[in-house]
Amino acid sequence: MPVTVLRYLPRRRFLMLTGIGLAGGLTACKTTDIVPSGDDTARAETNGALPLVNTLRNSKGLPTLEYSKIAEAAALSQAQRMARAGEMSHLIGRGDDFLLRMKSMGVPLPASENIAAGQSQVADAVDAWIRSEKHLHNMLGAYRGLGVAVAHNPSSANRPYWAMVLAS
């Protein structure tokens, strides 16, 4: 399920920045207790994904993407968040906001995020995104940078959670 930042809701930003959004339950996502980071079950997978995505883009006459350390950090963070929550979702916990998350990590906007769960290899995750019209649309978008990561949830049969961040 992809997310693309196309516009911003000023009221939500105001509420989030003032802290009202944290208590107001502005998202429809379920609240999840997040366990503090510190596990070694997450790793960057950009080097494996980048040639696959660039081969796809080249076949469509599009420019190649570059490795983005910032996008990779954002993907790593999202994969870890999903693994800790045991949930494949762009928004985890009360008050979560994709745009604010990207901005706080310094990801150049506009940006998109593709997520997946269950695939054992980076090629399988990229293939799943290619076979999804919305995910494919993100990968063929006017972006310059790419970051991909996977994290595992040891309490859930070590299920892998994947995140791809495409950045301008």
Q: Would you kindly state where each structural domain of the chain is located, as residue ranges?
A: 59-87+98-115+133-167
Q: What is the pLDDT of residue 7?
A: 36
Q: What is the pLDDT of residue 157?
A: 75
Give mean pLDDT, residues 93-98. 75
| Range of weakest confidence among 73-82, 93-102, 105-114, 138-147 | 93-102
Q: What is the pLDDT of residue 111?
A: 95
User: Average per-residue pLDDT in the chain?
Assistant: 79
**How is the chain split among helix, strand and coil, in percent rounded to 5?**
40, 20, 40
pLDDT of 104 above 70: yes
Residue 69 contacts residue 149 (beta carbons within 8 Å): no
| Range of weakest confidence among 11-15, 20-24, 134-138 | 20-24
Q: What is the pLDDT of residue 40?
A: 52
Quote the crossing angle between the two packed helices 46-59 and 69-85, to the nearest 10°: 110
CATH topology of domain 59-87+98-115+133-167: Pathogenesis-related Protein p14a (3.40.33)
Q: What is the pLDDT of residue 154?
A: 77
Provide the terminal-to-terminal Cα distance of the chain, rounded to the nearest Å.
Answer: 20
Q: What is the pLDDT of residue 69?
A: 97
Give the whole-angstrom CA distance, residue 142 versus residue 161: 25
Q: What is the pLDDT of residue 110?
A: 95
